[in-house]
Copies of this chain bind each other. A is one copy, B any other.
């Protein structure tokens, strides 16, 4: 591990990275910007915006100044030195569909992966001025110069749970059946929140989030935020999140376990 490994300094840096991404992205929010369709007009609409690219470029620029020897994996500009001990994992705008719809629930996500596992993470929403940051010292919401400690809430019963997924239509057949079983049991379901739902789990406002087809930059930044607040992030078998892209996060392990009864039936293997 490099001699410069200093968690408080890296926490300050990851917050600065999130803020730089936000400053680059925010002028495009509800403004005019180039859009292209990654699917080339075929199939599901997959918007990418100039804002995505500019936000990731802003993060990479700061990393080049402050951490030139670390690796980087970003959604827009690919991987570089990804075998290094310290790797920054970047989703410049998670929730581009919310972004293009004018909804302030898109986020910048950044993780610091240390020896293969996410150690620090941020979920940042610049229009709201919110930075949720998590790591070994716990999780905090930083807003307007004030920091608020984040704690999950107890919710042992799925019937009491507020649950969320980005879009029920993203699940395949077996996944859709499993999700529907969980949804039918839960108290309340919310859709379209992307990473912001995980911040709400960390804050003790939601209890369970389930998603599929997540890439490492979608889920690695969430893990330290949820776990630092006392929650748990797992794959649909209940193990450590992995490249299946099937992720479940909960504030209360008992609530997760109840959901896993259904989710396990649709769990994939890498």
Q: Which residues of A contact B (CB under 8 A)?
A: 30, 45, 47, 97-98, 100-105, 127-128, 162, 164, 167, 187-193, 196, 200, 203, 205-206
Residues of B close to A190: CB separation below 8 A? 97-98, 101, 103, 192
Residues of B close to A127: CB separation below 8 A? 128
Q: B102–A200 contact, CB under 8 A?
A: yes
Q: How far is the CB of A96 from chain B (nearest CB, A)?
A: 10
Residues of B close to A188: CB separation below 8 A? 45, 47, 97, 100-101
Q: B192–A102 contact, CB under 8 A?
A: no
Q: Kindly report which residue of chain B lies nearest to residue A98, judged by CB atoms.
A: B190
A247–B127 Cα distance when bound, in Å, is 30
Residues of B close to A104: CB separation below 8 A? 104, 128
Q: How far is the CB of A45 from chain B (nearest CB, A)?
A: 5
A191-B192, A205-B30 known; A100+B162 contact, CB < 8 A: yes
A189–B170 Cα distance when bound, in Å, is 12
Chain A at the B interface: mostly helix, strand, loop or mixed? Answer: loop
Q: How far is the CB of A165 from chain B (nearest CB, A)?
A: 10
A250–B189 Cα distance when bound, in Å, is 26
Q: How far is the CB of A87 from chain B (nearest CB, A)?
A: 31
Cross-chain pairs A/B with CB under 8 angstroms, 19 sampled: A30-B203, A30-B205, A45-B188, A100-B162, A100-B205, A101-B164, A101-B188, A101-B206, A102-B203, A102-B206, A103-B105, A103-B190, A103-B193, A103-B200, A103-B205, A104-B104, A105-B105, A127-B128, A190-B192
Q: How far is the CB of A97 from chain B (nearest CB, A)?
A: 6
A45–B127 Cα distance when bound, in Å, is 31
A103–B203 Cα distance when bound, in Å, is 11
Q: How far is the CB of A140 from chain B (nearest CB, A)?
A: 14
